[in-house]
Amino acid sequence: MDNLVKQMLSFYDKNSTSVAIIVALIVVFGTILIYYVLSRKSSRNAVLLVGLSDSGKTVLFTQLVAKKFVSSVTSMKEMSNTLRLSNHKTIELIDCPGFERLRMKYWDDYKVRAKGVLFVIDSTDFANTGKDVADLLYNFLVDPLVVTHKIPFLIACTKQDETRAKSSKVLQKQLEREITAIRETRAGALGSTGEDDTSRSILGKLDKEFAFNDIKNEVQFADCSAAESNTQLDSVLNWIKSIA
């Protein structure tokens, strides 16, 4: 043991400059790595509101940030505002346009900032929009960034104040059936092109019907309403607080 210590001290005496440079480089690169990791985490401090056009995103956004009702309008650009929560935390809300030709552009622009995704569904119109809703949600859930960071989703089933609205439990089952059909189509398309690794673009387990419980990131469902006379947003706010 003494000989080993002597050898180490002798090596240091002969190479003190080199050792000092190596230590300095380790400290510098370690500091850069820590800063990079922390900055990446801090940059993801937003909840993205996404969904089809006319799903009620902008109405929901306005109720959350300003507690006031606005008539539904088709947004052609994003809107953002800071939401102050009851637990004294803040988080940025970004309402991304649902217009078909814009929705993926704004998703690609803002997904790197997403700490969570609020996917808005019109609960009164799923019979007409179900396939489009499922296809859009599928695209978001297989996004490599979503998968890597296990970004949580809340499926906000809006317009629950209306008599035609379907509950979140019913919509979850219907979405799972739609996604199963989409998955089969995409898996077949990948197989026909000779793709070996389908896991990157296939949701859930291929040997069973799709279920949200089978994917790695958490997906929750909530009934809500942003109506002027019957606002029901507690479940949405509680979810935002849980991830903020």
Q: Which residue has the tokens 């997403």?
A: 114
Same domain, 130 and 18: no
Distance CA 60, CA 63 (A): 5
Same domain, 16 and 118: no
Q: What is the pLDDT of residue 22?
A: 52
**Counted domains in the chain:** 2
Same domain, 28 and 100: no
The mean per-residue pLDDT over the stretch 121-134 comes to 97
Q: What is the pLDDT of residue 131?
A: 97
Q: How confident is the model at residue 3 (pLDDT cuts 50, 70, 90)?
A: low
Neighbours of 237 (CB within 10 A): 15
Over the stretch 28-85, which tens digit does the pLDDT of each residue have?
343 333 333 333 444 789 999 999 999 999 999 999 998 888 776 667 789 999 999 9
Q: What is the pLDDT of residue 208?
A: 92
Residue by residue, what is the 3-state secondary structure of 34-94? HHHHHHHHHHCCEEEEEECCCCCHHHHHHHHHHCCCCCCCCCCCCEEEEEECCCCCEEEEE
List Cα–Cα distances, 8 to 17, 18, 143, in angstroms: 15, 14, 51
Same domain, 66 and 21: no
Over the stretch 179-199, which tens digit does the pLDDT of each residue have?
999 999 988 776 655 554 545
Same domain, 235 and 124: yes
Same domain, 28 and 113: no
Same domain, 187 and 155: yes
Same domain, 110 and 187: yes
pTM of the model: 0.79
Show the tokens assigned to 130: 């179900």
Q: How confident is the model at residue 8 (pLDDT cuts 50, 70, 90)?
A: low
Same domain, 24 and 66: no
What is the average pLDDT value for the chain, to the nearest integer?
84
**Contact indicator for 94, 58 with CB cutoff of 8 Å:** no
Show the tokens assigned to 44: 């993801």
The residue that leads in pLDDT, 201 or 127, is 127
Closest CA to 225 of 53, 51, 50, 63: 63
The mean per-residue pLDDT over the stretch 151-177 comes to 97
List Cα–Cα distances, 45 to 48, 111, 240, 244, in angstroms: 10, 11, 11, 7
Q: What is the pLDDT of residue 29?
A: 45
Same domain, 13 and 70: no
Same domain, 128 and 208: yes
Q: How confident is the model at residue 25 (pLDDT cuts 50, 70, 90)?
A: very low
The residue that leads in pLDDT, 73 or 171, is 171
The mean per-residue pLDDT over the stretch 206-223 comes to 95
CATH code for the domain in which residue 168 is found: 3.40.50.300
Over the stretch 217-232, which tens digit does the pLDDT of each residue have?
999 999 999 998 888 9
The mean per-residue pLDDT over the stretch 99-119 comes to 95
Same domain, 65 and 127: yes
Domain assignment of residue 18, given as a range: 2-38
